[in-house]
Amino acid sequence: MTAEELGFRLHRLDPGATLRIDEPTLLSAFGATNLSNEVFHRIEIFATEHRCSFAPPEHGRDTPCFEKDDIF
């Protein structure tokens, strides 16, 4: 998946909806090899541009996800 394809999918999400995306696909979309702080920052900016928030993988949840803002 490219960043453009990801942006299209985020644009089409309903308010409050979540899109989980596996780490290898996310890395590929942003041309990265690991989830460094710099990559997280780029992803967060990308998410904000698409009216979403980004939740990186954490303990107990190993799939990063985007959540569409519920207020436009």
Question: For residue 62, what pLDDT is reported?
Answer: 76
Residues of the chain with pLDDT under 50: none
| Global confidence as pTM | 0.85
Q: Tally Cβ neighbours within 10 Å of residue 51.
A: 15
Task: Domain count for the chain, please give it.
Answer: 1
Question: For residue 63, what pLDDT is reported?
Answer: 84
Domain that holds residue 29: 3-68
Closest among 26, 38, 36 to 1, alpha carbons compared:
26
Question: For residue 57, what pLDDT is reported?
Answer: 79
Question: For residue 26, what pLDDT is reported?
Answer: 92
Question: For residue 72, what pLDDT is reported?
Answer: 58
